[in-house]
Structure 1
């Protein structure tokens, strides 16, 4: 008989929790058990879509999670889980994941890995000590065009990869709220791990580490709050990352109405350039227009983090690399060094797991 997985949720701060819930709800071997939120530093002033109040309501009313606890520690003591989805504020990943691991459950958390390398390593070591899996989900993992870009880069067709450029952005989280309401949301507050750097530079940190295949060495970072005066977190950031044989440029913005470019995701090699374009990758071998190659899609039965996780648990086959702890330790090291560099005005070293 196929195993039924008992699933719970801790944390509704990150709006992507609704997507994770939807992906697991689409499976027929899931039993929802219970959920609980973390307590925000500042109470939210809105229950609009994608706020934590709306996210909890989605879990209760749309997904059908049967119990909601006021205290996640009490929930973990009272219930048994196979998997817990963890989507608290970025700076609380270590605390929450440590508690879930201590309760003996596998953890699926949402990007970024945390708000600092130290906090992420707290989570990593807790999972290792408990013998449970820690999976970091990335929406970009489920992009067929990004996987095609990696495939072409690995084939050697564009020569040695020496630079990755990744720009990610929008007009910011919860843009329909008033400025007062946005200021009360953790996204715009530094202390709980808000800000555009962690929110968007994280994608390029994870993907460039995967594509380049080396651990990063150092980062120069710059941040600014140019259009979000209601919060103390940055709304724009840029990171310049040095690898042993390559470099990356990571850009993030919460104040951009249009990127003004056909591609924001680029890989440069000594014999060519790759640019994500729609559901494909444009390959340039010279100064011409290049040729567009369409992505063939994702592997059957493994096209969401829910399916990927269950497949991994049941077959023992490896997870997609971008979801794994080793690559996310390096991705978090980039972000951590970038934050420190923006504060110091100097190049900062990327710290390894041993450090």
Structure 2
């Protein structure tokens, strides 16, 4: 069994982290022992959450890595730091779980994968949808052949915008910064669709994308983006992300040669499968194994059992999603489709 007992946190500016800490408190023989962030208020918050003393809090994550004896790190810093932090951790033999998106560019994603491979450490990319039983049930059904060979995916997701949704100022400060995040709504939400598309269809042959500030004209990043990915002559995926949708909603559809699966746009994240003969019926959610239904417990368990991070949690799948996003931004800049070599 691989050793993982002491975990550190690099960065606290990604709001998703606050949803993940409670399950980490119940891990057997493993705990989060330190955290680093430049913001004193966030250090105080995580100290209260995890009962950390002042000696376990750092303004500089590099100083934390130098001083602390760790087995792994959770990276919840701005996207621009993911590659550097992963490389620094790998050089010290530390496993890494980084929050989505994996990186700003595919080149940075490649640096992360290369560093982990060279060091023999593990790298997981956390997508919150991985822990949704209905989404997992959908992916499992498609991969099992329930609707036959998939020829079309339409994945739309988004909300009214991070600030409008009530995200913290620490989160928003970098979400709206292209240099720190790599983009806006396209980076934030199309990465979900890209990760699911990569899981189902693999790597596309070409990508065409458009984006713009359709509502929020003052933003320095796009408030809407649409990606069309082609998989030779076999399949197409349409991936949409928005920060201007007034009512929360999503639209996810898979079309195969033997049927289709679709979501309800404004209801719960439940999915309906429709096939000839059986008609339309609710798709059963997946049953997530104990200890594998939340990101940090999954991360620890898989390392201890020497089992791979699977599906959209794998760095390899996240790398394809990153390649789709990179090609999308290149397509937007050139206003033409971009072929993937």
Confirm or deny a common fold (TM above 0.5). yes
Structure 2: which 5+ residue stretches go unaligned? none
In 1: Cα distance, 2:331 partner to 2:153 partner: 20
Q: Secondary structure at the match of 2:66?
A: helix
Aligned residues: 333
Aligned CA distance change for structure 1 residues 25 and 227 (closer, same or farther; 3 Å): farther
Q: What residue ranges of structure 1 are gaps of 5+ in the alignment?
A: 39-51
Cα distance in 1 between the residues matched to 2:228 and 2:280: 27
CA-CA distance at 1:319 after TM superposition: 2.2
Within the alignment, does 1:61 sit opposite 2:56 as a pair?
no
Distance 1:151 1:73 in 2: 40
Relative to structure 1, the CA distance from residue 297 to residue 57 in structure 2 (aligned partners, 3 Å threshold; closer, same or farther) is: farther
Q: What is the 5 A alignment of 1:116-265?
A: 116-175=105-164, 185-193=173-181, 194-212=183-201, 214-244=202-232, 245-258=234-247, 264-265=251-252
Tell me which residue corresponds to 1:284.
Answer: 274
Q: What does residue 81 of structure 1 align with?
A: 70
Identify which of 309, 313, 319 aligns with 2:303.
313
Summarize the Cα distance change of 1:176–1:138 in structure 2 as closer, same or farther, 3 Å threshold. closer
TM-score in terms of structure 1 length: 0.86
| Structure 1 contact 149–276 (Cα < 8 Å) conserved | no
3-state secondary structure, aligned to 2:162: coil
Question: Does the aligned pair in 2 maintain the 1:20–1:306 contact within 8 Å?
Answer: yes
Once the two structures are superposed, residues 68-115 of structure 1 have per-residue CA deviations (whole angstroms, 9 ceiling, x without a partner) of: 212111111111111100011112211121112122210000011111
Q: Aligned partners of 1:183 and 1:319: how far apart in 2?
A: 27
Query: 1:98 matched to which residue of 2?
Result: 87
1:326 alignment counterpart: 316
What secondary structure is seen at the aligned counterpart in 2 of 1:29? coil
Alpha carbons of structure 1 residues 13 and 231: separation in structure 2 relative to 1, 3 Å: farther
With 76-85 and 288-297 compared, the bigger mean Cα shift is at 288-297
> 1:34 aligned to 2:34?
yes
What is the Cα deviation at residue 273 of structure 1?
0.9
Task: Supply the distance in 1 between the matched residues of 2:166 and 2:20 (Cα, whole angstroms).
Answer: 24
Residues 279 and 295 of structure 1 are in contact (CA less than 8 Å); yes or no, is this contact kept in structure 2?
Answer: no
2:22 is aligned to 22
Seen in structure 2, the aligned counterparts of structure 1 residues 34 and 294 have a Cα distance that, compared at 3 Å, is same
Structure 2 CA distance for partners of 1:26 and 1:168, relative to 1, 3 Å: farther
Query: Residue 284 and residue 91 in structure 1: after superposition, are their counterparts in 2 closer, same or farther (change >3 A)?
Result: same
| Alignment TM-score, normalising by the size of structure 2 | 0.89
Structure 1 CA distance for aligned equivalents of residues 195 and 14 of structure 2: 18
Q: Determine if contact 1:107/1:134 at 8 Å carries over to the other structure.
A: yes
Residue 123 of structure 1 and its aligned partner are, at CA, apart by 1.3
State the Cα RMSD in Å.
Answer: 2.6
Report Cα offsets for 1:260-291 as digits up to 9, x if no partner. 6xx61111112211013536431123699721
Q: Is the CA contact 1:174–1:182 (under 8 Å) kept in the aligned structure 2?
A: no
Flag the 1:56–1:16 CA change in 2: closer, same or farther, 3 A.
farther
